[in-house]
Every structure is written in C-alpha cells, then in structure tokens.
Structure 1
Amino acid sequence: MSRRSYTYILIVTLAIFSNSCSTYTNFYSPTFSKIEQNNISKIHRLDLSNQNLKSLPESIKKIKDLRMLDISSNPELDLQQVFEQLAQYNTIEILILDSLSIEKLPESIKQLSKLKQLSLAYNPKIDLEYNFDLIAELPIEFLNLKGNELSKLPENIKTIPTIKDLNLSFNTIKTARNFELLGMLPNLYSLWLDHNQLDKLPPEISKVNQVRFLYIDHNRLQKLPKEMSKMKTWVIHAGYNEFTQLPKVFTTMKSLFMVHMNNNKINTIPTVYEAEKYSLAGLILDNNPITEKEKIKAKKLFKGFFLLSFEQK
C-alpha cells in the first residue's frame, strides 16, 4: 500500500472519530444512572440527567474517582449547592450542564482543575462573557454551546486557548467578527457550524485556517468564498445545503482530502476539476440530482479517489 493510501485511511479514520466526538463518549467505562452501595467503587461516569433533582444525592460523596457527571435537564437544581458538593472532585474531566437555564456558573467551578470537556448546550440565557472569565484558566478542550441562540461570540473567548473542539450548532453565528475571534483559538481542531441559518460564509472564514474538521451542513449555502483556499482543513461536511455545483474552491485548498456534499442540489461538476491538480481524494455526492452523463464524467475525473459515492435514497 502506498504512503498516499495510508494518509487517506488515516484521514477517514479521523473523520469518523471527529464526527462521533462528544462529551458523552470519552473515558470508556460503564455509565451509571444511580448510586447504589454495590456499585460505588465502580462509578467513574454518572448520568443523573432528567431525574427531577433539586440537589445531588448525598451518596455522591462516597464516589472516589468521578470522571464524568451529567446533570442536564434538572431545572430545579441549585447549582451553587451542586458545585459546593463537587469541590472535592479534582478528578472530574467531563461535565454536562445542558438545559438548566444557566445564566452564570458558580465561581467554584474554578476548583475543577482537570475539567477538559464542558457542555452548556440549550441554556439560551447564558452570560458567556462572564462564564468565559470563570473558566479561562481551566484546561477546557471540548466546549459545547449548541442551541444557545448565539449570534455573537464574546471577545474573551480568545482567553481559552486550550479549546480544540467547539460546538456552535443550532445558533446564528454569521458575522465576520465571530470568525476573526475563532481564528484566535490556536488549537481549534474541529468546528461545528451546522444548523446556523447560514446563507453565506464571510471571507473571514479564512481566519479559521487552523481547523481540520469543519461542519457547515444543514444551512442554506449556495457558494463558498474563494478565501477558503487559505484554510488547512482536511474534512468538510457541507451536506443539506443549496449548492447546485461542486464548489470550485475545493481545488485550491491544499490540505483538503474529503468532502461530504450529500443532499444538496448539485447537478454539475465545474470544468476546473478537469484542469487543476488538487489534494481532494474523497467525495460523497449522495442524494443530489446528478445526471447519468455527469456521473460518468465524475467517475473519470475522480477515478483515483479512495471514496466516491452517488447513492440515491
């Protein structure tokens, strides 16, 4: 097998991993939803979501090595009391606080010195500027801000340089300044901008040139800016948009290996794909109205690709 083939396999593996990456799947051990005498020593992951809790069970104090805690969808929880109880746990790496009507996190979150993954999804009243100041010194790598009705990112997001994976799905992140700020996160690896009602991407998307996996699916995009040629992205998910032809900019992105363009309105492959040399080597065009003539053309153009798909469902 050639070195190039190994590279493609590596990229596909990373793409699959990134697509499934979430706060729920790290640290592989059983997830418990109850604390019982016979399982206390085994609990590393604890899911207490949707249990109508007003406070954490007293028995949580007996857990010695808690790594992941999910307390989502318990709207009557007293978070101040919760974090006082959690203060003993400098072992927590994953904390899921979705759908809790959070505005401001308790200051005691600073004591969770090993916290790497924080989910604050579906808290539309959240004061991000205040909370970013609180968590700025924590080693946050995954930050989930999904569904928070965000249109503007606070300037102090750049004070959390440890962020690698940032989920901004189901918001309305559109303006140029947002992308300039995202470009100031030096370790940003995966960025979710799906379901953001995007009609277009501003040229400033090129500022986010450090991102390797970009999710812009489920929007209303018809074109992509030529400035994306400056990006070092490996994989782009752009399905469920309004594209009518394969974007030309993909031929100028020197690191791009794989693109998902499923469920668009693509019916033509631009002639630039006949003349240019490019790194793209995997293309999914499922559920697009591509004519048989264009399919034959594409199969000839992309015959060296490790993945080429036109499935219709």
Structure 2
Amino acid sequence: MKKLIFLICLIFYQLTIYSQVNKRLSVEEVINSAEKVVSLYLRCNEFRIFSEKIEELLHLESLYLRDCSISQIPSDITRLSKLKLLNLEGNTFTSIPSECKRLHQLSVLNVRGNKLEKLPDFLAKIPNLREIDLSGNPDLDFSSASKVLIQIKNLDFLYLSNNKLKTIPDSLINLDKLEELHLKNNPNMDLKQVFDLLSEIKTLKILALSDNKLVTIPENLNSLKNLQGLMLDNNPTIVIPKLVSVIASCPSIKVVLLRDSNLKFFPNDLKGFSSLKILELSNNSFSEKEKERIQNQLPNTKVIF
C-alpha cells in the first residue's frame, strides 16, 4: 500500500525521495557553510573545486555529479560518511568506482547512461544499499551482473531500462525484497519469459514497461499477484481491448499509466478497468466527447487526461 500511495503521489506531484533546495549557491558559498550542506548538485566546471574541498562536506547526504564525462571520482569521497545518495548519471564509467565500497550509508546509486561492463562484488557489502539505476548501460553483462544484484540483501528498486534486453536472468527471482522494476525501452524483450520469472518475485508492486512497442500484455500478467502499478506510457501500438481484458484478471492492479500513446478511442466496454483507482491518459488524442464517455464509464476511477 505504501508503494501505491507513493506512485499516486508521483503522478500528481512528481515527487522525488531526495528533493533539492531551489536556491542555487556557488561552490564557494557551499564551502563557507559546509557544515549545513546535505545535498549538492554540481555543474561540470565545479567538479575540480569540489575535489579540492570534499573533506569539508562531512554532513553531505546527496551528491549529484551528472553529465560531466568523468570516469573516476575523488578518492576522498570515502570521507563522506553520511552520503546516502550518489548520482553519477551520464558519465563514462566502465565500472562502479571502487571508492563506493567505503560509503557504508549509501542507499541510492544511480549510474544510468554510463559505459558499464560489469558490476563489482563489493556492492553486496554496502549494508544499506536498496536502489540501483543501471539503465542505459547496454554493454553490461547482465548474466554476470545479476549474480551481484541478488546478493544485495535490501534491494527493492531496480532500473534496467534502455539496455537492449531480450530476457532477464533467471537468478533475479532471488530478489526477494524487490518492489519496483523498470524495464522501459527494451522493445525486444520476451515478455512471456519476463512475466513467468517475475511471477516468482512475490514482493513486486510496480512494473514499468513504457517505450517497448507493446501490442499486447501476456495473460500471465495475472501471475504477479501483488502488482499494484503498471506503467505503459508511449506504447502507441498497444491493443486496448486486449489490455482491458488482461487488467480485469488482475484485481491487485490499481494504477495504470498510458500516457503519450496517441490514443483516440477506448472500447465500449471498460468494465475491466473498473477496479483501477487511477488511469493516467495524459498527452493522447481523445476528443472531449470521448473523454466524457470514458469518465462516465469509470465513475470510481480517477481518470487523468
């Protein structure tokens, strides 16, 4: 239920777990008040200054070093003993920096859009690690990586989007705390294999399959007994009558996202969607008349256009 509430909040407010203060400070101002800084988002040209002053930011909890074409991080980063979130998105790392193994409070690691080839074993020894974003690393050996992932005891959020996946490793069934899985933009996936495997992960609550050129959703979706949220954005080829039928067999699903899918009409019979609490249909092509009809057929569902 907590994850469902979080998903609903995300839809309306686009919340993030680690929000940032809107006021922009210079690095010099940050250093001068280092004891008060808990979140830091660096521009690329500020990276050198940060590297020289890192030891003064001992209360830092969130650090963003995005899109700077860096392949290594300062060794002194290990002195950030309170760091909980490290975002290295959009750089040129081929492996996760070894310095991370001494960040014992780290719970969120984002290495999306790098050039990862392997995952280091030490990730399993970071006791609080619970969220990893590996999206956009198509050269990563996922068969080998999965052997590391299943050793991360508290992993509950996993992002594998945009990785040219065709299947997902069978060993992932051992992720017995996984609650949210993102598989966006992997259009060649064998969905039956994926759902057969995911049905063994009893804790899974949110599944993202956006940007996958979907036509249908396999009927074995109903094997995911605890699934509450399904993200299907930007799938303009999806057959809605079939989707309605499949959702009807999945009473646990309460939120469906179908944004940006060039939809113009829905089938006459929408009873299969009647158990939904939220149906997100933003950025489609429904007429005002069709919107009214859809809402009237789903009086107990919050339909967002």
TM-score (norm 1): 0.77
**Distance change (3 Å), C-alpha of 1:224 and 1:43:** same
SS in 2 for 1:51: helix
SS in 1 for 2:181: strand
8 Å CA contact 1:31, 1:44 repeated in 2:
no
2:124 maps to 1:136: yes
Counterpart residue type for residue 258 of structure 1: V
**Distance change (3 Å), C-alpha of 1:14 and 1:278:** same
8 Å CA contact 1:142, 1:163 repeated in 2:
yes
8 Å CA contact 1:239, 1:263 repeated in 2:
yes
Q: Deviations over 1:191-243 (max 9, x none)?
A: 22222235762243243243212221222001000111011211112121011
Alignment of 1:52-201 (within 5 A): 53=47, 56-76=50-70, 78-79=72-73, 82-83=74-75, 85-124=76-115, 126-129=116-119, 131=120, 133-138=121-126, 139-149=128-138, 153=142, 154-156=145-147, 157-175=149-167, 177-178=168-169, 180-198=170-188, 201=191
**Distance change (3 Å), C-alpha of 1:76 and 1:297:** closer
8 Å CA contact 2:182, 2:208 repeated in 1:
yes
Matched residue, 1:237:
231
8 Å CA contact 1:244, 1:265 repeated in 2:
no
Alignment of 1:292-311 (within 5 A): 298-299=294-295, 301-305=297-301, 307-309=302-304, 311=305
Q: Deviations over 1:122-148 (max 9, x none)?
A: 112x1333x2x1211112112111221
Q: Deviations over 1:96-130 (max 9, x none)?
A: 12233112334332111111011111112x1333x
Matched residue, 1:4:
none
Counterpart residue type for residue 269 of structure 1: P
TM-superposed CA distance for 1:252, in Å, is 1.1
- C-alpha distance in 2 between matches for 1:44 and 1:292: 47
- C-alpha distance in 2 between matches for 1:218 and 1:143: 20
Counterpart residue type for residue 195 of structure 1: N
Unaligned runs of 5+ in 2: none
TM-superposed CA distance for 1:291, in Å, is 8.0
8 Å CA contact 2:71, 2:92 repeated in 1:
no
8 Å CA contact 1:146, 1:171 repeated in 2:
yes
- C-alpha distance in 1 between matches for 2:5 and 2:218: 25
Unaligned runs of 5+ in 1: 1-6
TM-superposed CA distance for 1:48, in Å, is 2.3
Q: How many residues align?
A: 290
Matched residue, 1:263:
260
**Distance change (3 Å), C-alpha of 1:204 and 1:33:** same
**Distance change (3 Å), C-alpha of 1:200 and 1:279:** farther
8 Å CA contact 1:43, 1:65 repeated in 2:
yes
8 Å CA contact 1:151, 1:173 repeated in 2:
no
Identity of aligned residues (%): 19
8 Å CA contact 1:40, 1:62 repeated in 2:
yes
For 1:227, which of 217, 220, 225 is the aligned residue? 220
SS in 1 for 2:45: coil
8 Å CA contact 1:158, 1:185 repeated in 2:
yes
TM-superposed CA distance for 1:66, in Å, is 1.5
Matched residue, 1:204:
194
Q: Deviations over 1:4-26 (max 9, x none)?
A: xxx8x99455433388465xx51
Matched residue, 2:250:
253
2:45 maps to 1:51: yes
TM-superposed CA distance for 1:92, in Å, is 0.8
For 1:34, which of 27, 38, 42 is the aligned residue? 27
SS in 1 for 2:10: helix
Stretch deviating more after TM superposition (57-66 or 33-42): 33-42
SS in 1 for 2:194: helix
- C-alpha distance in 2 between matches for 1:297 and 1:188: 38
- C-alpha distance in 1 between matches for 2:38 and 2:283: 42
TM-superposed CA distance for 1:152, in Å, is 5.5
Counterpart residue type for residue 93 of structure 2: I
8 Å CA contact 1:200, 1:223 repeated in 2:
no
8 Å CA contact 2:58, 2:79 repeated in 1:
no
What is the root-mean-square deviation of aligned Cα atoms in Å? 3.3
